Structure 1
Amino acid sequence: MGKLTFISGGVRSGKSAFAEKLLVEEATAVQGRLVYIASGRATDQEMRQRIDRHKLDRATQSWTTIEQQTNLHETLSSIQPNDFVLWDCLTTWLANELYTEQDGQFCIQIENCMEQKAKKMLETVEQIHSIAAHFVIVSNEVLDEPASIYEETQKYSEWIGKLHQQLVGMSDNAIEMDYGLPQYWKREGQVVVR
């Protein structure tokens, strides 16, 4: 089984660039394949620009990109043994899944819908972890903000908190990016004491 690394941080904290650099260096050392699972959806001009910027950042490397906004498990057939895989990002995937429509309702409105999706996603993370040389998951840190008065935003925050805790528990490394600098909270399975 390879390594699993979880990287969180605020918007534009440098988490994606750090994750990409980490995997590029490791893959280059062993001539491994780089795989980028992109969950972003170009819903507006700002998001389109961010997606384009991320593509430009990866242009000099030989990334195999999988556009997968929902249903992470559908990427499994594309992952090969000893790949270096980056999933960017969990928070975007969660928003996409919460607002997938089923029978005229969004998942966020259907009892146990997100529980099933989260369970499937965590199983998929384990499967990718068992195949890849290194699997890095990027997520936005949104829990430092004041609590929202909106019920759907509260549900989103609750899910982020649950998923972050579960993924950090599964991970070998847990890193929080701040101002472009990595803060290790867990390194090679050991909690970093401060």
Structure 2
Amino acid sequence: MPLIFISGGVRSGKSHFAEKAAVLHYQHNNSIHKRLIYIASGVAMDVEMEKRIVRHQSDRLKQAIAWHTIEAPYQIQNVFDNLVEDDVVLWDCVTTWLTNAFYEGFDRGTPCVEKPGCLEEKLRNMKSSVQTLLDKKVTLFVVSNELFDEPPYENEEVELYRQMLGTLHQWFVSVAYEAYEINYGIVKKWK
């Protein structure tokens, strides 16, 4: 089934667009076994992120359809592996998941970004799980942020993050059925 990739700037309307598109797809899928699933990768590390999470939760509660929400800040492939045929899934978002992947293990002394091969393994596992979903009858809406309008960063870690995210976006678009970019609430379909 299709993968729909949706990117855009922070607060551009991409999550709202993705939610509406997922609900519409869910409503037009006639399977009695279908589920509408929201995979949330955000972690409330500060007040701003806490407010964003609450706003997203509130937006979903206002809808006439109930979302099944799964918190997956780290091991996204475990969630993907448990999805079943006819699920309609919205993953919000790749950007926060990648940030979490970079710093997973920080509380134990060494974040993943400092362990050789750690990030590559996480990306490889996630991509493999997404490829498996493409073979199932699961529709996956993937949301991510665009961070590429700025010049290269002097901080090596920030620039590594940006480069990895750019490569990841290219991969998502290459396997996507449709790809959208949202800016200022304006939707541009690229694929």
TM-score (norm 1): 0.90
Offset of residue 147 of structure 1: 1.6
* Paired position in structure 2 for 1:85: 89
Q: Spell out, residue by residue over 1:27-63, the C-alpha distance to the aligned partner (whole angstroms, 9 max, x if none).
A: 1123542100000000011101100000011112211
- Matching of residues 96-115 of structure 1 within 5 Å: 96-101=100-105, 104-115=109-120
| Contact 2:89-2:140 at 8 Å conserved across structures | yes
1:181 aligns with 2:183: no
| Cα distance in 1, alignment partners of residues 137 and 183 from structure 2 | 27
Question: SS of 2:190's equivalent?
Answer: strand
- Against the structure 1 CA distance between its residues 122 and 77, is the aligned structure 2 distance closer, same or farther, given a 3 Å change threshold? closer
Gaps of 5+ in 2: none
Does residue 157 (structure 1) correspond to residue 162 (structure 2)? The answer is: yes
**Overall identity of the aligned pairs, in %:** 42
1:170 is aligned to 2:175: yes
SS at match of 2:149: coil
Q: Which residue of 2 aligns with 1:141?
A: 146
Q: Deviations over 1:87-122 (max 9, x none)?
A: 000010000000011773111112211111110010
2:55 aligned partner: 53
Distance 1:136 1:20 in 2: 9
- Identify the structure with the greater strand proportion: 1
**Quick one: which amino acid aligns to residue 136 of structure 1?**
F
Amino acid at match of 1:25: L
Question: What secondary structure, in the 3-state scheme, does the structure 2 residue paired with 1:7 have?
Answer: strand
Alignment RMSD, CA only? 1.4
In the comparison of the two structures, how many residue pairs are matched? 185
Q: Which moved more, 1:46-55 or 1:57-66?
A: 57-66
Q: Equivalent residue for 1:11?
A: 10
SS of residue matched to 1:82: coil
Which segments of structure 1 move beyond 6 Å, counting only runs of 4 or more? none
CA distance in 1, matches of 2:184, 2:42: 22
Distance, in Å, in 2 between the alignment partners of 1:92 and 1:132 is 26
Equivalent pair of 1:83/1:133 in contact (CA under 8 Å): yes
